[in-house]
Amino acid sequence: MAITDFLERNAKLYPSEISLVEINPANQPDRTVTWREYNLIETSPNEKYRREMTWKEFDIKANRFANLLLTRGIKKGDKVAILLMNCLEWLPIYFGILKTGALAVPMNYRYTAEEIKYCLDLSEADVLVFGPEFIGRVEQVFDNLDGVKTFFYVGETQPTFADSYDKLVSYCSSTAPAVELKDDDDAAIYFSSGTTGFPKAILHTHSALVSSCITEQNHHLQCREDVFLCIPPLYHTGAKMHWFGSLMSGSRAVILRGVKPEWVMQAVSEEKATIVWLLVPWVQDILDAIDRGDINLKDYRINQWRLMHIGAQPVPPSLIKRWKQVFPNHQYDTNYGLSESIGPGCVHLGIENIHKVGSIGKAGYLWETAIVKENGERVAPGEVGELIVKGPGVMKCYFNNPKATSKILKDGWLYTGDVAREDEDGFIYLVDRKKDVIISGGENLYPVQIEDFLRTHNAIKDVAVIGLPDDRLGEIAAAIIELKEGVVCTEEDINDFCKELPRYKRPRKIIFAQVPRNPTGKIEKPKLREMYCGKRLVEAQTTK
């Protein structure tokens, strides 16, 4: 089956039920009203505080965009890129593309003009759908794109080189196009995080997308009564594949355009959210706001909130222990995955394994895992090696890049590049990224282990550990530390705290600064290396 079959089923079974809600707190009115009341206030569709859509409307909008694309000559196998902030139009556009048999190509909203051109050319995109935030960047590359001939603008007052999505889709048929879709048809191109230079294009089929629905729903047991609060960017596999559990169960999802702690808590309360997927920095921010008294939990209706889960980056055990102290009744889960493995779920902790906090879990539903040496042999329990995974969501290939594909795909196994170990119970623990390992005086230092230790310090909000060049030791560990607001902490305080670590693991340099993270919560270590090590070291590490 194709992923679009789930949408068409929901439109038939639950036509009048709400599928998606968009909340934009930045458009909150001056007077105090609830989001539901504000939905009745006359404003521009793109400026409303709260918008919603039924399953039938969702399917109709997808059909209309599919038919619009067909009138422009888009056919099976063509590529349509999406460059939008999270909004109510995002998913209907995505599914409209899929209904034509074309490939959806979601793009990172942080891309520069140069990166936008690179990814459009790399994916051989024929169409670009973009929003008002990107007019300037698209204008910079408009005349130099190799293949994009059609531009659709989502918003009011479109630029002269683009057609209005909003106006044109209203004239298109609401009937599903007669395009046959098969399991092994190509469905989407996602982009890697680009941590070693420009991103790679990751090709997935419809069967991979469907498998993600099945895995997600199996892990988190979404039912019709659940409400999923979606905050991370939809261009990334993480947010969308977690939403796939809502798609499969026919349940509501709320797209929150903002990450302020009070916005998250108000959305949980007003929309009766039961499942919330957060990133590490947002969890930290919510807990800090509660500690400061900025958030009083008695002001919110949160008894229905049953599950908080985290993915996209290593999760400090100390952070989850702190969360459970504040929210003792919450189920907790973490998922591990890559865009190359259709996002989260190839490894999964499980809500029943809270006693294993710190582990990423075991092989997810329908997945296999192994930890291997450089020669491909499996390591013994407790030994460190590279984590590899196999399952129905493994990418088809890196699009138009057979050399890079052959390095990561071997005999059906996806080589993740992550260093891991397995305990006596079969639970997997991430040690670090292979490329992030610091070799200091012949000893391997794993930054994640040092970061997890430092995060237990009460003054530290966030931390990143990188290697700095050293004439004697080759590299030394440097800790970039972001302190909590209003807290005073010195280098001497940190060094005293680190005396609990073995001497060779202690950071040799302490830097107090902000820790940069990308939209999916991952620490941007290449940026830190460029800031503190110089470009030459960054280039050397990317060629390893």
* Helices 280-292 + 261-271 axis angle, to 10: 90
Alpha helices for 123-191 (secondary structure H): 135-141, 165-169
pLDDT tens over the chain, length 544 residues: 899 999 999 999 999 999 999 999 877 654 444 444 444 433 444 457 899 999 999 999 999 999 999 999 999 999 999 999 999 999 999 999 999 999 999 998 888 898 899 999 999 999 999 999 999 999 999 989 989 999 999 998 889 999 999 999 999 999 999 999 999 999 999 998 654 457 899 999 999 999 999 999 999 999 999 999 999 899 988 888 899 999 999 999 999 999 999 999 999 999 999 999 998 878 988 999 999 999 999 999 999 999 999 876 667 788 888 999 999 999 999 988 889 999 888 999 999 998 898 899 999 999 999 999 988 899 998 998 999 999 999 999 999 999 999 999 999 999 998 889 999 999 999 876 667 778 776 567 878 888 888 988 989 999 999 888 877 677 889 999 999 888 899 999 999 999 988 787 899 999 999 988 876 667 887 788 888 875 433 333 333 3
Residue whose entry in the numeric block shows the structure tokens 């942080």: 110
Radius of gyration for the alpha carbons in the chain, expressed in angstroms and rounded: 23
Q: Which residues fall within 8 angstroms of residue 325, CB to CB, at 6 or more apart?
A: none
Q: What is residue 212's predicted lDDT score, i.e. its pLDDT?
A: 94
Most distant CA pair in the chain, distance:
70
Asked whether the whole model's pTM tops 0.85, one would answer no
The CATH superfamily holding the domain 437-542 is ANL, C-terminal domain (3.30.300.30)
Q: What is residue 541's predicted lDDT score, i.e. its pLDDT?
A: 38
Neighbours of 303 (CB within 10 A): 9
Percentages of the chain per state (helix, strand, coil), in multiples of 5: 35, 25, 40
Using alpha carbons, select from 258, 259, 292, 279 the residue that is nearest to residue 484.
292
Q: What is the Cα–Cα distance from 121 to 213, expressed in whole angstroms?
A: 30
Q: What is the Cα–Cα distance from 399 to 421, expressed in whole angstroms?
A: 31
Beta carbons of 196 and 435 less than 8 angstroms apart: yes
Q: Which residues fall within 8 angstroms of residue 332, CB to CB, at 6 or more apart?
A: 307, 308, 309, 320, 323, 324, 351, 354, 357
For strand 275-278 and strand 50-54, is the pairing parallel, antiparallel, or unpaired? unpaired
Beta carbons of 305 and 276 less than 8 angstroms apart: yes
Q: What is residue 37's predicted lDDT score, i.e. its pLDDT?
A: 43
Neighbours of 522 (CB within 10 A): 17
User: 481-488 contacts: CB < 8 A, separation 24 or more?
Assistant: 481/454, 481/510, 481/511, 481/512, 481/513, 481/515, 482/512, 482/513, 482/514, 482/515, 483/459, 483/512, 484/288, 484/458, 484/459, 484/460, 485/288, 485/292, 485/461, 487/458, 487/459, 488/459
Using alpha carbons, select from 251, 305, 247 the residue that is nearest to residue 278.
305
Domain covering 306-432, topology: Luciferase; domain 3 (2.30.38)
Using alpha carbons, select from 19, 25, 23 the residue that is nearest to residue 6.
19
Q: What is residue 62's predicted lDDT score, i.e. its pLDDT?
A: 98
The CATH superfamily holding the domain 4-258 is ANL, N-terminal domain (3.40.50.12780)
Beta carbons of 21 and 252 less than 8 angstroms apart: yes
Residue whose entry in the numeric block shows the structure tokens 């952070």: 319
Tokens of 223: 């039912």
Sketch the domain layout of the chain as residue ranges.
4-258, 306-432, 437-542
Q: What is residue 517's predicted lDDT score, i.e. its pLDDT?
A: 81
